[in-house]
Structure 1
Amino acid sequence: MDYERGGYARISIPQYNIEFHVKKGSTILEALRDKGVGIRSVCGGKGFCGKCKVIVTKGRVEHRIRDKEVISVEELSKGYVLACQAKIIEDIEIIIPQESVMGKAKLLSDFISESVEVKPYTQKIIISKGEIHELKNILSEYKATWKDEYNYEELIDRVLEDNITLIVNSYLKEIVKIDITRRIEKFYGLAVDVGTTKIVASIIDMINGSILATESEFNKQLIYGEDLMSRISYAMEIKNGLKELQIAVVDTINELLKRLCGKLGIDASEICEVVIAGNTVMTYTAIGLDPSPLVKSFKERVNIPRNPYTLHAKNLGLKLNDNTPIYVLPCAGRFFGGDVIGDIITSKLSFQEQPSLLIDIGTNTEVVIGCRDWILGTTAPAGPAFEGWGLKCGVRAIEGAIESVKIDPETLKAHYNTIGRAKPIGICGSGYIDLLAELFINGIIDTLGKFRRDLNSQYIRLGADGYEYVIASKDETSTGRDIVITEKDIYNLIDAKSSVCAAISILLKKMIMNVNDIRKVYVCGAFGKYLNVNNAIAIGMIPEFTNAEVIYIGNGSLGGAYLSLISRDYREEAERVAKIVAIIELLLDPDFMDEYQAGFVLPGKRELFPTWWEASRKIRRK
């Protein structure tokens, strides 16, 4: 191959008005990743997801196709290639289609919170002039993390002349900051939700507990793959891969930190504690722990340490004072992380006397049933369908994604809303839930998810991948292509929803409970925030909890970080929950396959969906 002789090639991207040189033999994805150009890569560059398509308008590439289903013959004829499978052999010019752009996400930063007593572990202590005894007691109780700045004699001399202000962390028994100028009036904390897709950070007033500012950004780890398994594979298979993943998280937090401080007009040195919450893989990669033990055979039970992690800013690389303490919420299972612990304490499920259910929907959907005395949790292997992977027109919740759908029962035409009111580029998870429900309710698909062949409608047709339903014609979209849902898409969605419902059913069975025993249903996370629960029930994803109040709690992971920052009681509760929660490994449970397969007939088992089961009989007779 001519590129093997070495040398560099130029890559031009007119839409961004940029061009740069890369080593010949690099893939287009590697080139864009190194340059920091945002492009989707769900599978981490393995050639299976088909989400990193670009159009080569000038020059040649060596293109390998690993899966013929992810790119069509028509697309190939128009110059489309998979960026991860296209090696650069000469100067090229490319266009990144709208559906491949990382996009501007609909990011969730709010969470429900009631009045909480502000009682943080990090506090301000004023040593009054002449109180040498009090100063000596504090210096002996707390570790000497202050020695680089002041020595013992200087502090004694100073307190004889004037007041001294100390910022101390009683959790670690450390002095965080010493001020001899009496300038410290306020001090701040940083609460961080490290998500697989996004990272959200808030600066908190540590005196009154108010949230002063919040910023969100894509997790820079996305360039290594959009799902957890891709990140773990990268850490395991690539030299220094774990370090790269850690740097990506830290760089994202530092970027948010800079924006937050700029917005508030404060210095980063005024932040005196950081609390981080994230799923187990994000927690491990953020602090540099090897995630490979999390993915040993799924037929084996995996036990992980359930303790919180503590370190300092200098260990992580955060641009704060070196000795700023960092507290990381504990994880309880390989896919049951500090984010779910955050959900639990934010919802107050662990304080309730009556049993409640909590669900956080995503690629790995966490399900919890419990109360004050006991908690049972599991993770449903729902797969990435709710993130748009494996679906012909699936996209994440970014600008232009169809997020809600309603079908006219007379014309069978779809009416939709998009994120940002932009022209549609595809369908995101909440849109697919609505769409599947509407197709079922209006009798367009049967209980097995197949399109009815007897309907005479312009919106149902035989496409390249079988029968499909047209949501938006190419004239309406920003991609210039029809947005459709195929029978294969429907199968993947039913597969995902069946996994979630099976998880809920298994937990109910373990506690010898039924749907009538649940008093509250907490719906968490960005997906849950925009989820139409009635439609989720209609398709058989969430059972009919007839006696339960449905409560949306928003970003419970960020809420957990916030509460653990400002309240000792909530931090202690988080640690208690992590210790007592019993984790059920679904794939090891003998009842899982039966429960899972029962969901493949819409809506699902009669005892879980009594109303919709009866309704489905009428739909069949339409």
Structure 2
Amino acid sequence: MPELKVRIDHHDLHLHVVDEEEGDSLKDILDHHGIVLPSDCGGVGKCGLCLVHIDEGECTQLTLSEQGTLSADEIGQGCRLACQARPLGDVTLAIHQTSHPAIWSDLETGKSGATASESDRLGVAIDLGTTQIRATLWNLDSGERMDGITSLNPQAVFGADVLNRLSAAKASNADAARLSRLAESAIAEAIQILTARHDVASALVVRVTVVANTAMLALLAGRNYEHLLEIEQWQKPVDCQPATLDPWRKAWGVASDADIVLVQPLAGFVGSDLLAAVLAFGLIESGDAALLIDFGTNSEVALWDGRRLWVTSVPGGPAFEGSGLSCGMPIMAGAIQRISAAGSDAPFELDVIGGGTARGVCGSGLVDAIAHLLRRKVLNRVGRLAEPFVKGGFPLDEAGNIRINNRDVDLFQRAKGATAAATLYLLEQAGLKQEALKRVCITGAFGSNLDCRHASEIGLIPDISPDTIELHYDSALSGCEALLLSHEQGRRLELLREQARLINMSMAPEFDMLFVDSLFLRPLPKSGIQAGSVLE
């Protein structure tokens, strides 16, 4: 069997490929050995993120996908897409970008100082996001949060967005089982880490509550995920409850009679994470109009008009999470999260997470970059860079290593266009204008770092006073924690379900027009968008 020699950041690994099936791609082999390459196309060779350099050895010939995705220079230098290339013998390759999912880090709140004894009952809240998983440990007897950690969702090996993962699950029972196991194992790992850090047994965990979007719940439970690819099922309830919970109790090491609650979704693509966020914000507890936007690969929007809760969901794509961009990365150390400038010609001042040299830009940094480029007239409102930046992109850092190109802007426009169109459509259905909103609640890892002024300028969020806007990182997790701690919150959740009016954007005739007009990089209109609107 062949041997795969891998160099990552100047560190050499030797993988003896003895258990792979004949015909596995380089990406398959690397994934199976815990070396996870970024990808958001489901392994069809279109995103170009799983780029590797073949130093020695032979692989199968270039595929048509590679010929259309790789540049002539990259092909000439020996670069391949790992999802397309299959080794024909011993191969030595270099990897420049990995996305290892098994690295857990502290949430901002981190350890609280709260403790637990062997007689206390513990609970764990899980926000199972498409991109990130967040978990917190609670002392149920004292009602105190003890700890919180986060990691990337390991299901990303099947693609950055839910559609790729659902398609993989539907096409292969083995892949469906693996997607379920990846999520199960991540939750088990989180529980073990949290309890070990406080020197308590995981068997003290008597309650686990999980919120997620519908796709993540269905894939975790291993049932009904295939229905989510059928438009006619979008507005129908989806049963994401596994047949039995005993295997999870055993795998997670929790109490043998632990109460494991998968908070069920509202419908096809409106998950329990949005309901948890609405609960955490107390969105319907006032007669005033309020809007909630949960930005992500699948963006969800909820509008409270004082009497009814209007809810919808749209595919935002991975750009909000920094995935798919030429220089993008998640919100982690080395990512540019904010950009400022002292003047129109001054160099950009970069706020890098963790300090030090920037390694890429995350979604919130991209929003700032686009706003600044518009002001400098380097970028027009259609989303095209001016010469001489069309070919090489515009450099954000002085060294010129991190550049924004037209494709990056286009990916962002598509994500923001869908979310903005959904917002405008709900406002129109409720008979409200933007200025009627008394609260705008933005949540999600991307939304929590937004510069609201920049976001309004490019039409990502309503063009209203920044004083009206509330930014929260983990409202879905906060709602999940409320459900973990209180049965009363569960009753409030059921009231939310009864008051929600679900809007299926795929069936809305006006949505396509709203989406196209929302692609422009300009503030959202005060009185709705008219078809055929023209830029000034």
TM-score (norm 2): 0.89
Q: Which residue in the other structure is 2:92 paired with?
A: 93
**Mean CA deviation greater in 367-376 or 300-309:** 300-309
Secondary structure at 1:420's aligned position in 2?
Answer: coil
What is the CA–CA distance in structure 2 between the aligned matches of 1:268 and 1:233, rounded to whole Å? 35
Name the CA shift for 1:312/1:523 in 2 (closer, same or farther; >3 Å).
Answer: same
Matched, 1:423 2:357: yes
Conserved? CA contact 2:54–2:80, under 8 Å: yes
Match of 2:418 in 1: 499
The 5 A counterparts of 1:199-598 are 199-297=133-231, 301-305=234-238, 312-315=245-248, 317-370=251-304, 373-407=307-341, 409-411=343-345, 413-452=347-386, 460-463=388-391, 468-472=393-397, 475=399, 482-546=401-465, 549-598=468-517
Structure 1 residues 210-219 or 273-282, which shifts more? 210-219
Other structure's SS at 1:196 match: coil
Alpha-carbon distance between aligned partners in 1 of 2:466 and 2:370, rounded to the nearest angstrom? 25
Q: Secondary structure at the match of 1:463?
A: coil
Listed one character per residue, the Cα deviations across residues 445-500 of structure 1 (whole Å, up to 9, x for unaligned) are 233233345xxxxxx43426xxx322236x46xxxxx3222233323322322222
Letter in 2 for 1:542: I
Offset of residue 563 of structure 1: 0.4
Structure 1 position 103, deviation (Å)? 7.8
Letter in 1 for 2:333: E
TM-score (norm 1): 0.77
Runs of 5+ unmatched residues, structure 1: 1-7, 112-182, 454-459, 477-481, 611-615
Q: Any conservation in 2 of the 1:528–1:554 contact (CA below 8 Å)?
A: yes
Alignment partners' CA distance in 2, 1:371 and 1:306: 29
User: What CA distance in whole angstroms lies between the structure 2 residues aligned with 1:417 and 1:70?
Assistant: 32
Aligned to 1:46: 44
CA distance in 1, matches of 2:409, 2:39: 23
SS of aligned partner of 1:12: strand
Aligned amino acid, residue 345 of structure 2: T
Distance 1:361 1:213 in 2: 25
Preserved contact between residue 49 and residue 389 of structure 1 (Cα < 8 Å): no
CA contact (8 A) 2:39 2:324 kept: no
Q: CA deviation at 1:594?
A: 2.4
CA gap 1:70/1:386 in 2 versus in 1, 3 angstroms: farther
Match of 1:12 among 5, 9, 28: 5
Aligned residues of 2:184 and 2:248 also touching (Cα < 8 A): no
Worse-matched range after superposition: 589-598 or 100-109:
100-109
Contact 1:13 1:93 survives alignment (8 Å): yes
The two structures, once aligned, show a CA RMSD in angstroms of 2.8
Return the offset for 1:322. 2.8
Structure 2 vs 1, CA of residues 526 and 295 (structure 1 numbering), >3 Å: closer, same or farther? Answer: same
Return the alpha-carbon distance in structure 2 between the equivalents of residues 373 and 105 of structure 1: 44
CA distance 1:550–1:110, change in 2 (3 Å): farther
Instruction: State the AA in 1 paired with 2:265.
Output: C
Relative distance call for 1:10 and 1:211 in structure 2 (3 A) is same
Query: Residues 184 and 108 of structure 1: is their aligned pair in 2 closer, same or farther, counting only changes over 3 Å?
Result: closer
Taking structure 1 as reference, are residues 89 and 267 closer, same or farther at Cα in structure 2, changes over 3 Å only? same
Q: Contact (CA 8 Å) 1:309, 1:329: kept in 2 or not?
A: no
Please give the alpha-carbon distance, in whole angstroms, between the structure 2 residues aligned to 1:419 and 1:469. Answer: 21
SS of structure 1 residue aligned to 2:134: strand
The 8 Å contact of residues 107 and 198 in structure 1, kept in 2 or not, is answered as no
Structure 1 Cα separation of the partners of residues 443 and 158 of structure 2: 26
- 1:178 aligns with none
Quick one: which amino acid aligns to residue 69 of structure 2? Answer: V
Distance 1:421 1:61, change over 3 A: farther
Kindly state the Cα deviation for residue 307 of structure 1 after the two structures are TM-superposed: 9.0
Contact 2:421 2:515 in 1 (8 A): yes
Find the counterpart in structure 2 of residue 29 from structure 1.
27
Cross-structure match for 1:153: none
Higher relative contact order (CA 8 A, sep 6+): 1
Question: Deviations 1:99-142 (Å, cap 9, x if unpaired)?
Answer: 3444898978468xxxxxxxxxxxxxxxxxxxxxxxxxxxxxxx
Helix, strand or coil for the counterpart of 2:331? coil
Relative distance call for 1:575 and 1:300 in structure 2 (3 A) is: closer
State the shift of 1:415 in Å.
Answer: 2.9
Q: Identify unmatched segments of 5+ residues in structure 2.
A: 110-116
Per the TM alignment, residue 309 of structure 1 is displaced from its structure 2 partner at its CA by 7.6
Distance change in 2, residues 1:429/1:577 (3 Å): same
> Cα gap change, 1:313/1:79 in structure 2, threshold over 3 Å: closer, same or farther?
same
Q: C-alpha distance in 2, partners of 1:225/1:523?
A: 25
Decide whether the 8 Å contact of 2:104 with 2:149 is kept in 1. no
Residues 74-223 of structure 1 mapped to structure 2, 5 A cutoff = 74-97=73-96, 99-102=97-100, 109=107, 185-223=119-157
**Are the aligned partners of 1:261 and 1:267 in contact in 2 as well (CA < 8 Å)?**
yes
